[in-house]
Amino acid sequence: MSRWSSGLATLKRYPSAVLGLSLILFLVGLSVYTLVAIPYSQALDLWRGGEPWRMHPVNAQPVWTNWLDGADRPRTQVIRGEPADAERRDYDGVRQLRIPLVFEYHHAAFPSELNLFLATPADGREAFVRLTWQTPDGREIPLGGQRISGDARISLSQDWALERRLGRVPHVGLFAEPDDPAQPARVQPGRFQLLLEAIQFDTAAADSDLTAELVVYGRVHGLAGTDHRRRDLMVALLWGTPVALAFGLLAAVGTTLTTLVIAATGVWFGGWLDAAIQRLTEVNIILPMLPILVMIGTLYSTSIWVMLGVVIALGIFSAGIKMYRAMLLPLREAPYIEAARAYGAGSMRIILRYMIPRILPVLIPTFVTLIPSFVFLEASLALLGLGDPLLPTWGKVLNDAQAQSALYNGYYYWVLGPAGLLMLTGLGFAMLGFALDRVFNPRLRSL
Protein backbone atom coordinates (compact mmCIF):
# COMPACT_ATOMS: atom_id res chain seq x y z
CA MET A 1 0.00 0.00 0.00
CA SER A 2 1.22 3.43 -0.85
CA ARG A 3 0.34 4.68 2.61
CA TRP A 4 2.86 2.29 4.09
CA SER A 5 5.59 3.12 1.63
CA SER A 6 5.10 6.83 2.18
CA GLY A 7 5.18 6.20 5.91
CA LEU A 8 8.45 4.36 5.47
CA ALA A 9 9.83 7.26 3.46
CA THR A 10 8.92 9.61 6.30
CA LEU A 11 10.68 7.32 8.75
CA LYS A 12 13.88 7.53 6.74
CA ARG A 13 14.17 11.16 7.74
CA TYR A 14 14.69 10.16 11.36
CA PRO A 15 18.17 8.76 12.07
CA SER A 16 16.93 7.09 15.22
CA ALA A 17 14.33 5.23 13.19
CA VAL A 18 16.93 4.07 10.70
CA LEU A 19 19.23 2.94 13.48
CA GLY A 20 16.44 1.32 15.46
CA LEU A 21 15.09 -0.40 12.40
CA SER A 22 18.50 -1.74 11.44
CA LEU A 23 19.01 -3.04 14.98
CA ILE A 24 15.64 -4.80 14.79
CA LEU A 25 16.41 -6.15 11.34
CA PHE A 26 19.75 -7.42 12.64
CA LEU A 27 18.00 -9.23 15.50
CA VAL A 28 15.39 -10.63 13.14
CA GLY A 29 18.13 -11.79 10.77
CA LEU A 30 19.93 -13.38 13.69
CA SER A 31 16.72 -15.17 14.66
CA VAL A 32 16.15 -16.49 11.18
CA TYR A 33 19.76 -17.64 10.95
CA THR A 34 19.46 -19.34 14.34
CA LEU A 35 16.27 -21.15 13.48
CA VAL A 36 17.86 -22.48 10.31
CA ALA A 37 21.32 -23.24 11.71
CA ILE A 38 20.28 -24.74 15.05
CA PRO A 39 16.87 -26.37 14.76
CA TYR A 40 14.64 -26.28 17.81
CA SER A 41 15.10 -29.89 18.90
CA GLN A 42 18.84 -29.66 18.42
CA ALA A 43 18.98 -26.50 20.50
CA LEU A 44 17.09 -28.21 23.33
CA ASP A 45 19.44 -31.19 23.16
CA LEU A 46 22.51 -29.01 23.18
CA TRP A 47 21.31 -26.88 26.06
CA ARG A 48 20.58 -29.95 28.14
CA GLY A 49 24.39 -30.21 28.31
CA GLY A 50 26.54 -33.30 28.86
CA GLU A 51 28.07 -35.44 26.12
CA PRO A 52 27.99 -33.00 23.18
CA TRP A 53 30.19 -30.62 25.10
CA ARG A 54 32.93 -32.95 26.44
CA MET A 55 35.49 -31.47 24.05
CA HIS A 56 34.75 -27.92 25.26
CA PRO A 57 36.63 -26.15 28.03
CA VAL A 58 34.90 -25.07 31.21
CA ASN A 59 34.32 -21.33 31.61
CA ALA A 60 36.46 -20.42 28.63
CA GLN A 61 36.58 -16.79 27.63
CA PRO A 62 35.55 -15.62 24.20
CA VAL A 63 38.43 -15.50 21.70
CA TRP A 64 38.17 -11.76 21.38
CA THR A 65 39.43 -11.29 24.92
CA ASN A 66 42.87 -12.20 23.54
CA TRP A 67 42.68 -9.16 21.28
CA LEU A 68 41.61 -6.96 24.16
CA ASP A 69 44.51 -7.60 26.54
CA GLY A 70 46.98 -9.15 24.09
CA ALA A 71 47.29 -12.27 26.23
CA ASP A 72 48.04 -15.52 24.43
CA ARG A 73 45.36 -17.85 25.69
CA PRO A 74 45.20 -21.17 23.84
CA ARG A 75 42.28 -22.57 21.97
CA THR A 76 41.32 -26.17 22.49
CA GLN A 77 43.40 -28.73 20.62
CA VAL A 78 42.15 -32.22 19.92
CA ILE A 79 44.79 -34.74 18.93
CA ARG A 80 43.33 -37.89 17.46
CA GLY A 81 45.20 -41.14 17.27
CA GLU A 82 43.67 -43.17 14.51
CA PRO A 83 44.16 -46.93 14.35
CA ALA A 84 45.91 -46.35 11.06
CA ASP A 85 48.66 -44.34 12.78
CA ALA A 86 49.22 -47.09 15.27
CA GLU A 87 52.20 -49.29 15.23
CA ARG A 88 50.86 -52.74 15.87
CA ARG A 89 52.42 -56.04 16.68
CA ASP A 90 50.43 -59.25 16.97
CA TYR A 91 51.52 -62.04 19.25
CA ASP A 92 49.74 -65.16 20.09
CA GLY A 93 46.31 -63.94 21.11
CA VAL A 94 47.73 -60.61 22.20
CA ARG A 95 48.06 -57.43 20.22
CA GLN A 96 50.36 -54.62 21.17
CA LEU A 97 49.58 -51.11 19.96
CA ARG A 98 51.77 -48.03 20.10
CA ILE A 99 49.93 -44.80 19.35
CA PRO A 100 51.94 -41.59 19.51
CA LEU A 101 49.81 -38.45 20.00
CA VAL A 102 52.02 -35.57 18.90
CA PHE A 103 51.17 -31.88 19.00
CA GLU A 104 52.78 -28.47 19.08
CA TYR A 105 52.13 -26.07 21.95
CA HIS A 106 53.48 -22.52 21.72
CA HIS A 107 51.12 -20.45 23.83
CA ALA A 108 52.14 -18.36 26.76
CA ALA A 109 49.23 -19.54 28.89
CA PHE A 110 48.71 -23.08 30.07
CA PRO A 111 45.78 -25.18 28.93
CA SER A 112 42.80 -25.30 31.26
CA GLU A 113 42.44 -29.04 31.40
CA LEU A 114 43.79 -32.26 29.93
CA ASN A 115 41.64 -35.26 29.11
CA LEU A 116 42.19 -38.41 27.13
CA PHE A 117 39.22 -40.16 25.57
CA LEU A 118 39.69 -43.76 24.57
CA ALA A 119 37.27 -45.82 22.59
CA THR A 120 37.60 -49.57 22.31
CA PRO A 121 35.07 -51.90 20.73
CA ALA A 122 32.32 -52.08 23.29
CA ASP A 123 32.02 -55.84 23.64
CA GLY A 124 33.51 -56.27 27.03
CA ARG A 125 37.05 -57.06 25.97
CA GLU A 126 39.55 -55.33 28.06
CA ALA A 127 42.67 -53.51 27.14
CA PHE A 128 45.59 -52.36 29.20
CA VAL A 129 46.95 -48.93 28.45
CA ARG A 130 50.22 -47.36 29.53
CA LEU A 131 50.81 -43.64 29.02
CA THR A 132 54.06 -41.77 28.70
CA TRP A 133 54.36 -37.99 28.37
CA GLN A 134 57.31 -36.56 26.44
CA THR A 135 58.19 -32.89 26.72
CA PRO A 136 59.96 -30.84 24.01
CA ASP A 137 63.28 -31.11 25.87
CA GLY A 138 63.07 -34.91 25.81
CA ARG A 139 62.02 -35.62 29.41
CA GLU A 140 59.76 -38.61 29.72
CA ILE A 141 57.13 -38.62 32.41
CA PRO A 142 55.29 -41.88 32.97
CA LEU A 143 51.62 -41.32 33.54
CA GLY A 144 50.86 -44.80 34.69
CA GLY A 145 48.70 -47.52 33.29
CA GLN A 146 45.00 -48.19 33.19
CA ARG A 147 42.75 -51.08 32.44
CA ILE A 148 39.95 -50.01 30.18
CA SER A 149 36.97 -51.50 28.45
CA GLY A 150 34.52 -49.78 26.16
CA ASP A 151 34.70 -46.01 26.11
CA ALA A 152 36.88 -44.46 28.73
CA ARG A 153 37.84 -41.04 29.82
CA ILE A 154 41.18 -40.57 31.51
CA SER A 155 41.16 -37.27 33.35
CA LEU A 156 44.84 -36.42 33.50
CA SER A 157 44.09 -33.13 35.23
CA GLN A 158 42.53 -34.95 38.13
CA ASP A 159 45.34 -37.41 38.68
CA TRP A 160 46.29 -36.50 42.26
CA ALA A 161 49.31 -38.79 42.33
CA LEU A 162 50.66 -37.13 39.23
CA GLU A 163 49.95 -33.70 40.69
CA ARG A 164 51.98 -34.60 43.77
CA ARG A 165 54.84 -35.87 41.63
CA LEU A 166 54.91 -32.77 39.47
CA GLY A 167 54.27 -30.32 42.26
CA ARG A 168 51.70 -28.57 40.09
CA VAL A 169 48.34 -29.42 38.61
CA PRO A 170 49.00 -31.83 35.73
CA HIS A 171 47.86 -29.56 32.89
CA VAL A 172 50.37 -27.00 34.10
CA GLY A 173 53.11 -29.28 35.29
CA LEU A 174 53.22 -31.33 32.11
CA PHE A 175 53.67 -28.20 30.00
CA ALA A 176 55.97 -26.23 32.30
CA GLU A 177 59.72 -25.74 32.25
CA PRO A 178 61.30 -28.04 34.84
CA ASP A 179 62.08 -25.61 37.66
CA ASP A 180 61.18 -24.89 41.23
CA PRO A 181 57.46 -25.60 41.75
CA ALA A 182 57.31 -22.61 44.09
CA GLN A 183 58.09 -20.26 41.19
CA PRO A 184 55.38 -19.24 38.72
CA ALA A 185 55.27 -21.82 35.94
CA ARG A 186 56.36 -20.96 32.41
CA VAL A 187 55.33 -22.88 29.34
CA GLN A 188 58.03 -24.87 27.62
CA PRO A 189 57.07 -24.32 24.01
CA GLY A 190 57.56 -27.00 21.39
CA ARG A 191 56.54 -30.46 20.41
CA PHE A 192 54.82 -32.64 23.00
CA GLN A 193 53.98 -36.25 22.70
CA LEU A 194 51.74 -38.59 24.60
CA LEU A 195 52.71 -42.14 23.87
CA LEU A 196 49.98 -44.65 24.29
CA GLU A 197 50.96 -48.25 24.59
CA ALA A 198 48.06 -50.63 24.67
CA ILE A 199 47.85 -54.35 25.01
CA GLN A 200 44.67 -55.92 23.80
CA PHE A 201 43.81 -59.49 24.54
CA ASP A 202 41.64 -61.66 22.36
CA THR A 203 42.45 -60.33 18.92
CA ALA A 204 40.24 -62.77 17.09
CA ALA A 205 38.32 -59.95 15.52
CA ALA A 206 40.42 -58.11 13.02
CA ASP A 207 38.75 -54.79 13.71
CA SER A 208 39.56 -54.74 17.37
CA ASP A 209 40.78 -51.18 17.30
CA LEU A 210 41.51 -48.45 19.72
CA THR A 211 40.78 -44.78 19.08
CA ALA A 212 42.38 -42.17 21.24
CA GLU A 213 41.63 -38.49 21.51
CA LEU A 214 43.78 -36.24 23.60
CA VAL A 215 42.02 -32.99 24.38
CA VAL A 216 44.19 -30.10 25.41
CA TYR A 217 41.46 -27.73 26.64
CA GLY A 218 42.09 -24.11 25.82
CA ARG A 219 41.23 -20.97 27.72
CA VAL A 220 39.23 -19.28 24.98
CA HIS A 221 36.34 -20.61 22.97
CA GLY A 222 34.23 -19.14 20.20
CA LEU A 223 32.81 -15.66 20.19
CA ALA A 224 30.80 -16.08 23.35
CA GLY A 225 32.84 -18.35 25.58
CA THR A 226 31.53 -21.33 27.51
CA ASP A 227 29.81 -21.76 30.82
CA HIS A 228 30.41 -23.95 33.85
CA ARG A 229 28.88 -26.93 32.08
CA ARG A 230 31.15 -26.56 29.01
CA ARG A 231 28.16 -25.35 26.94
CA ASP A 232 28.94 -22.85 24.23
CA LEU A 233 27.19 -19.67 25.31
CA MET A 234 26.67 -18.84 21.65
CA VAL A 235 23.85 -21.39 21.49
CA ALA A 236 21.94 -19.56 24.19
CA LEU A 237 22.74 -16.11 22.84
CA LEU A 238 21.56 -17.12 19.37
CA TRP A 239 18.48 -18.98 20.52
CA GLY A 240 17.60 -16.27 22.98
CA THR A 241 17.00 -13.90 20.06
CA PRO A 242 14.01 -15.60 18.42
CA VAL A 243 12.61 -16.52 21.82
CA ALA A 244 12.86 -12.96 23.09
CA LEU A 245 11.45 -11.43 19.91
CA ALA A 246 8.60 -13.93 19.74
CA PHE A 247 7.77 -13.47 23.40
CA GLY A 248 7.89 -9.68 23.21
CA LEU A 249 5.92 -9.47 19.99
CA LEU A 250 3.26 -12.00 20.96
CA ALA A 251 2.80 -10.49 24.39
CA ALA A 252 2.62 -6.96 22.98
CA VAL A 253 0.19 -7.92 20.22
CA GLY A 254 -1.87 -10.05 22.57
CA THR A 255 -2.24 -7.44 25.27
CA THR A 256 -2.67 -4.46 22.95
CA LEU A 257 -5.33 -6.04 20.78
CA THR A 258 -7.39 -7.54 23.56
CA THR A 259 -7.12 -4.39 25.64
CA LEU A 260 -8.12 -2.26 22.69
CA VAL A 261 -11.12 -4.35 21.78
CA ILE A 262 -12.31 -4.54 25.37
CA ALA A 263 -11.87 -0.81 25.92
CA ALA A 264 -13.73 -0.04 22.70
CA THR A 265 -16.53 -2.46 23.57
CA GLY A 266 -16.92 -0.86 26.98
CA VAL A 267 -16.94 2.62 25.51
CA TRP A 268 -19.43 1.75 22.79
CA PHE A 269 -21.96 -0.11 24.91
CA GLY A 270 -21.39 1.98 28.02
CA GLY A 271 -23.57 1.39 31.05
CA TRP A 272 -22.90 -1.54 33.35
CA LEU A 273 -20.52 -3.17 30.86
CA ASP A 274 -18.25 -0.15 30.85
CA ALA A 275 -18.50 0.13 34.62
CA ALA A 276 -17.63 -3.54 35.07
CA ILE A 277 -14.61 -3.23 32.76
CA GLN A 278 -13.42 -0.14 34.60
CA ARG A 279 -13.74 -1.72 38.05
CA LEU A 280 -12.02 -4.89 36.88
CA THR A 281 -9.22 -2.80 35.42
CA GLU A 282 -8.81 -0.81 38.60
CA VAL A 283 -8.50 -3.99 40.64
CA ASN A 284 -6.15 -5.55 38.13
CA ILE A 285 -3.90 -2.49 38.02
CA ILE A 286 -3.24 -2.78 41.74
CA LEU A 287 -2.37 -6.47 41.53
CA PRO A 288 1.40 -6.75 41.14
CA MET A 289 2.25 -8.73 38.04
CA LEU A 290 5.68 -10.06 38.95
CA PRO A 291 4.72 -11.83 42.20
CA ILE A 292 1.81 -13.48 40.41
CA LEU A 293 4.14 -14.71 37.70
CA VAL A 294 6.62 -15.91 40.31
CA MET A 295 3.81 -17.76 42.06
CA ILE A 296 2.66 -19.44 38.88
CA GLY A 297 6.23 -20.29 37.94
CA THR A 298 6.85 -21.79 41.34
CA LEU A 299 3.62 -23.67 41.79
CA TYR A 300 2.53 -24.56 38.28
CA SER A 301 4.89 -24.36 35.35
CA THR A 302 7.77 -22.28 34.14
CA SER A 303 7.16 -23.07 30.50
CA ILE A 304 7.64 -19.92 28.47
CA TRP A 305 4.27 -20.43 26.76
CA VAL A 306 2.43 -20.63 30.07
CA MET A 307 4.21 -17.46 31.11
CA LEU A 308 3.24 -15.81 27.83
CA GLY A 309 -0.37 -16.76 28.37
CA VAL A 310 -0.38 -15.43 31.91
CA VAL A 311 1.35 -12.21 30.88
CA ILE A 312 -1.27 -11.63 28.20
CA ALA A 313 -4.12 -12.60 30.51
CA LEU A 314 -2.91 -10.20 33.19
CA GLY A 315 -2.23 -7.55 30.58
CA ILE A 316 -5.78 -7.49 29.23
CA PHE A 317 -7.29 -5.38 31.98
CA SER A 318 -4.27 -3.14 32.31
CA ALA A 319 -3.82 0.60 32.52
CA GLY A 320 -4.05 0.67 28.74
CA ILE A 321 -7.81 0.29 29.04
CA LYS A 322 -8.00 3.63 30.82
CA MET A 323 -5.90 5.31 28.16
CA TYR A 324 -7.79 3.81 25.23
CA ARG A 325 -11.10 4.64 26.88
CA ALA A 326 -10.11 8.27 27.17
CA MET A 327 -9.17 8.29 23.50
CA LEU A 328 -12.30 6.49 22.38
CA LEU A 329 -14.88 8.38 24.39
CA PRO A 330 -14.89 11.49 22.17
CA LEU A 331 -14.85 9.25 19.10
CA ARG A 332 -18.04 7.57 20.20
CA GLU A 333 -19.85 10.88 19.90
CA ALA A 334 -18.29 11.77 16.55
CA PRO A 335 -20.90 12.54 13.89
CA TYR A 336 -19.54 9.92 11.55
CA ILE A 337 -19.99 7.23 14.18
CA GLU A 338 -23.58 8.39 14.60
CA ALA A 339 -23.91 8.31 10.83
CA ALA A 340 -22.55 4.78 10.78
CA ARG A 341 -25.14 3.82 13.34
CA ALA A 342 -27.79 5.51 11.23
CA TYR A 343 -26.91 3.58 8.12
CA GLY A 344 -27.24 0.39 10.01
CA ALA A 345 -23.67 -0.62 10.79
CA GLY A 346 -23.70 -3.17 13.60
CA SER A 347 -21.96 -2.59 16.91
CA MET A 348 -19.08 -4.92 16.09
CA ARG A 349 -18.54 -3.20 12.77
CA ILE A 350 -18.52 0.20 14.42
CA ILE A 351 -16.09 -0.94 17.11
CA LEU A 352 -13.72 -2.83 14.86
CA ARG A 353 -13.88 -0.81 11.66
CA TYR A 354 -14.58 2.74 12.71
CA MET A 355 -13.46 3.28 16.27
CA ILE A 356 -10.35 1.15 16.69
CA PRO A 357 -8.72 2.09 13.36
CA ARG A 358 -8.99 5.75 14.33
CA ILE A 359 -6.73 5.39 17.36
CA LEU A 360 -4.41 2.72 15.93
CA PRO A 361 -1.87 5.19 14.52
CA VAL A 362 -1.47 6.77 17.92
CA LEU A 363 -0.96 3.33 19.42
CA ILE A 364 1.73 2.09 17.06
CA PRO A 365 4.60 3.88 18.86
CA THR A 366 3.32 2.69 22.24
CA PHE A 367 3.04 -0.80 20.84
CA VAL A 368 6.59 -0.76 19.49
CA THR A 369 8.03 0.42 22.79
CA LEU A 370 5.95 -2.19 24.58
CA ILE A 371 7.73 -5.08 22.87
CA PRO A 372 11.08 -4.75 24.70
CA SER A 373 9.36 -4.34 28.04
CA PHE A 374 7.98 -7.84 27.62
CA VAL A 375 11.40 -9.07 26.51
CA PHE A 376 12.80 -7.64 29.73
CA LEU A 377 9.99 -9.22 31.71
CA GLU A 378 10.86 -12.63 30.33
CA ALA A 379 14.53 -12.05 31.15
CA SER A 380 13.67 -10.94 34.68
CA LEU A 381 11.60 -14.07 35.20
CA ALA A 382 14.44 -16.23 33.95
CA LEU A 383 16.88 -14.34 36.17
CA LEU A 384 14.65 -15.13 39.12
CA GLY A 385 14.98 -18.78 38.20
CA LEU A 386 11.61 -19.01 36.51
CA GLY A 387 12.89 -19.31 32.98
CA ASP A 388 11.69 -21.97 30.63
CA PRO A 389 13.20 -25.26 31.80
CA LEU A 390 14.20 -26.36 28.32
CA LEU A 391 14.72 -23.35 26.08
CA PRO A 392 17.98 -21.48 26.10
CA THR A 393 17.21 -17.81 26.66
CA TRP A 394 19.19 -14.71 27.54
CA GLY A 395 17.61 -14.58 30.94
CA LYS A 396 18.65 -18.13 31.72
CA VAL A 397 22.26 -17.37 30.79
CA LEU A 398 22.14 -14.44 33.21
CA ASN A 399 20.59 -16.71 35.80
CA ASP A 400 23.43 -19.24 35.39
CA ALA A 401 25.99 -16.48 35.50
CA GLN A 402 24.52 -15.14 38.70
CA ALA A 403 24.32 -18.59 40.24
CA GLN A 404 28.02 -19.15 39.42
CA SER A 405 29.00 -15.69 40.69
CA ALA A 406 30.26 -14.89 37.22
CA LEU A 407 31.25 -11.31 37.93
CA TYR A 408 33.03 -12.20 41.16
CA ASN A 409 34.98 -14.87 39.28
CA GLY A 410 35.83 -12.52 36.44
CA TYR A 411 33.63 -14.18 33.82
CA TYR A 412 32.32 -10.81 32.70
CA TYR A 413 31.63 -12.06 29.16
CA TRP A 414 29.03 -14.40 30.63
CA VAL A 415 26.93 -11.42 31.72
CA LEU A 416 27.99 -9.09 28.93
CA GLY A 417 26.64 -11.19 26.05
CA PRO A 418 23.01 -11.59 27.11
CA ALA A 419 22.90 -8.15 28.73
CA GLY A 420 24.24 -6.55 25.57
CA LEU A 421 21.70 -8.32 23.40
CA LEU A 422 18.89 -7.33 25.76
CA MET A 423 20.05 -3.73 25.58
CA LEU A 424 20.26 -3.84 21.79
CA THR A 425 16.69 -5.13 21.66
CA GLY A 426 15.46 -2.41 23.97
CA LEU A 427 17.43 0.23 22.12
CA GLY A 428 16.24 -0.86 18.69
CA PHE A 429 12.57 -0.85 19.56
CA ALA A 430 12.82 2.29 21.67
CA MET A 431 14.53 4.27 18.93
CA LEU A 432 12.03 3.11 16.35
CA GLY A 433 9.20 3.82 18.75
CA PHE A 434 10.33 7.38 19.42
CA ALA A 435 10.64 8.09 15.71
CA LEU A 436 7.22 6.57 15.05
CA ASP A 437 5.83 8.71 17.81
CA ARG A 438 7.01 11.78 15.94
CA VAL A 439 5.59 10.53 12.66
CA PHE A 440 2.19 9.58 14.04
CA ASN A 441 1.80 12.33 16.63
CA PRO A 442 2.72 15.37 14.59
CA ARG A 443 2.24 17.66 17.57
CA LEU A 444 5.53 16.39 18.96
CA ARG A 445 7.42 17.47 15.87
CA SER A 446 7.64 21.11 16.77
CA LEU A 447 9.16 20.25 20.13
Partner 1 sequence: MTEPRDAMPPRADAERSLLVVEDLCLSYRTSRGPVRAVDRVSFDLRRREALVVLGESGCGKSSLAKALLRLLPRNVDQVSGQVRLAGLDLLALSEERLRVDVRWVRIALVMQASMNALNPVVRVGEQVAEPLRVHRGWSRARALERAAETFALVGVATDFLQRYPFELSGGMRQRVVLAMALVTEPDLVILDEPTSALDVLTQASIMNRLKQIKAELGTSFILITHDVATSSELADRVALMYAGQIVEVSDAAGFFREPLHPYAQRLMASVPRLHQAERPSHIPGQPPSLLSPPAGCRFAERCPRRHGRCVEEPPIFQRPGRHAVRCWLAAPGGST
Tell the smallest beta-carbon distance from residue 272 to partner 1 (Å). 13
Tell the smallest beta-carbon distance from residue 358 to partner 1 (Å). 7
Nearer to partner 1, 332 or 396 (CB): 332
What element of type H or E holds 269? helix 233-269
Nearer to partner 1, 224 or 439 (CB): 439
> What is the number of other CB atoms lying within 10 angstroms of the CB of residue 124?
9
Chain-centre distance of CA 326, in angstroms?
A: 41
Nearer to partner 1, 119 or 345 (CB): 345
**Among 414, 430, 437, 386, CA closest to 226:** 414
Tell the smallest beta-carbon distance from residue 337 to partner 1 (Å). 8
Q: Residue 138 — left, alpha, or beta (φ > 0 → left; ψ -120 to 50 → alpha)?
A: left
What element of type H or E holds 254? helix 233-269
Tell the smallest beta-carbon distance from residue 347 to partner 1 (Å). 9
8 A C-beta contact, residue 199 and residue 94: yes
Measured over the CA atoms of residue 274, residue 275, residue 276 and residue 281, the dihedral's sign is: positive
**DSSP states along 301-315:** ---HHHHHHHHHHHH
Backbone phi and psi for residue 359, each to the nearest 5 degrees, phi listed first = -100, -5
Nearer to partner 1, 346 or 420 (CB): 346
DSSP-derived secondary structure letter, 218: -
Residues in CB range of 98: below 8 A, 6 or more apart? 86, 87, 88, 195, 196, 197, 198
Tell the smallest beta-carbon distance from residue 436 to partner 1 (Å). 17
**DSSP states along 328-364:** HHHHHT-HHHHHHHHTT--HHHIIIIIIHHHHHHHHH
Nearer to partner 1, 239 or 268 (CB): 268
Nearer to partner 1, 138 or 357 (CB): 357
Rg (CA), the chain: 31
Tell the smallest beta-carbon distance from residue 345 to partner 1 (Å). 5
Nearer to partner 1, 138 or 344 (CB): 344
Q: Which residues bind partner 1 (CB under 8 A)?
A: 270, 334-336, 338-346, 349, 354, 357-358
DSSP-derived secondary structure letter, 174: T
Nearer to partner 1, 269 or 434 (CB): 269
Rounded to 10°, the helix 412-440/233-269 angle is 30
Measured over the CA atoms of residue 176, residue 179, residue 185 and residue 186, the dihedral's sign is: negative
Tell the smallest beta-carbon distance from residue 432 to partner 1 (Å). 23
**DSSP states along 383-432:** IIIIS-SSS--HHHHHHHHHHTTTTTTT-HHHHHHHHHHHHHHHHHHHHH
Nearer to partner 1, 343 or 408 (CB): 343
Burial class (CB in 10 A: 0-12, 13-18, 19+), 50: exposed
**DSSP states along 83-133:** GGG-EEEE-SSEEEEEEEEEEEE--SSPPSEEEEEEE--SSS-EEEEEEEE
Tell the smallest beta-carbon distance from residue 435 to partner 1 (Å). 21
What is the distance between the alpha carbons of residues 241 and 95, in angstroms, rounded to a whole number? 53
Tell the smallest beta-carbon distance from residue 360 to partner 1 (Å). 10
Nearer to partner 1, 172 or 260 (CB): 260
Nearer to partner 1, 298 or 441 (CB): 441
**Among 119, 98, 118, 91, CA closest to 202:** 91
Tell the smallest beta-carbon distance from residue 226 to partner 1 (Å). 55
What is the distance between the alpha carbons of residues 212 and 342, in angstroms, rounded to a whole number? 85
Tell the smallest beta-carbon distance from residue 3 to partner 1 (Å). 10
Tell the smallest beta-carbon distance from residue 335 to partner 1 (Å). 4
Nearer to partner 1, 110 or 268 (CB): 268
